[in-house]
Structure 1
Amino acid sequence: DMNDSRPLLDWQQVIRRKGVVYIGLDAMSDADVASAVGNSMFADLVSVAGHIYKFGHDGDQPEIGIKEKKPSISLHCDEFNELMGPEFIPMVNKGGGAGIEVTAYTQTWSDIEARIGNAAKAAQVTGNFNTLIMLRVREKMTAELLTSQLPEVDVYTKTLVSGFTDISNPEQGAHFTSNTQDRVSSVRMPLISTAELISLPKGQAFALLEGGRLWKIRMPLPSDAGDVVMPPDMLAMVTDMQKGYRTDDAWWPSITTLADPVILVSENTQPDPAPVTETEPEGDDE
Structure 2
Amino acid sequence: MHLSRIILAMAIISSACVTIANDAAVEKYRNYTPQQLADLPEKERSSSVPMMYSFAARNGLSKGADLLFAMQLNTLMYAGVSDYEGAVKSFQKDLGDKATGVLTVWQIYNLEKRSDFQKLSRVSFPSDYSSRKTDSYATVSGTMMIHDERIAWPVNHVQLKCYKADKYCELNQLYLVFPKDDSWSQTFNVMQDTPQYYDITNWSDDIVDAVPSDPGSGCRVTALNLNFKTKEFYQITRNGTGECETMGVTFPKLEKPRIAQIVDGEEIINKEFGDLRQKAFSFLSSAFRAKVEKLEAESK
Identify the TM-score tier after normalising by the shorter chain: under 0.3
- Where is the strand percentage greater, Structure 1 or Structure 2? 2
- Where is the helix percentage greater, Structure 1 or Structure 2? 2
- By relative contact order (CA 8 Å, sep 6+), the higher-ranking structure is 2
TM-score under structure 2 normalisation? 0.20
Look at both structures and tell me which one has the larger radius of gyration over its CA atoms.
Answer: 1
